[in-house]
Amino acid sequence: MIIAIDFDGTIVEHAYPDIGKPIPFAIDTLLQMQKDGHRLILWTVRRGRLLQDAIDYCAQRGLYFYAENENYRGENKELGEEVSRKLGVDMFIDDRNLGGLPDWGTIYNAVKATAEGANVLKIMAGQSSMAEPKKKKRWFF
């Protein structure tokens, strides 16, 4: 699968424009995803020097991305100034997801299950703190 990963609030805690403290198990989980054969794209609001700081932070920990803020390396140069910000990925991992950022163990299990064809919503629902809906009483059963 091709997976887009946010940086601030997902790999590190929010401290933009600085780099925040590492979020536990983020780098380790992303490295394992790469070993599992997934292509990772860094997808962040960071540009220029701030983007390079994020790339360097990850590289110092052994994490190298397939591309950064583009579908593949060189896409922006190849297509010129008019580049869509839309990515053609299978999944986004971002702290701004509905419900926030799950722990990285849950994220890994969801990615693995999705790659195996399972329903990721069932896995994520298993981690939910929402109460089960009450069953309606029926007359005949």
Residues 57-81 have a mean pLDDT of 84
Per-residue pLDDT tens for 78-124? 655 655 567 888 889 999 887 788 889 888 988 888 888 777 666 66
DSSP string computed for 21-90: PBPTTHHHHHHHHHHTT-EEEE--S--HHHHHHHHHHHHTTT---SEESSSSTTHHHHHTT--------S
Contact indicator for 14, 8 with CB cutoff of 8 Å? yes
- Average pLDDT of the chain is 84
Q: Are 6 and 43 in contact (CB under 8 A)?
A: yes
* Topology, domain 2-117: Rossmann fold (3.40.50)
Of 25, 30, 94, the closest CA to residue 62 belongs to 30
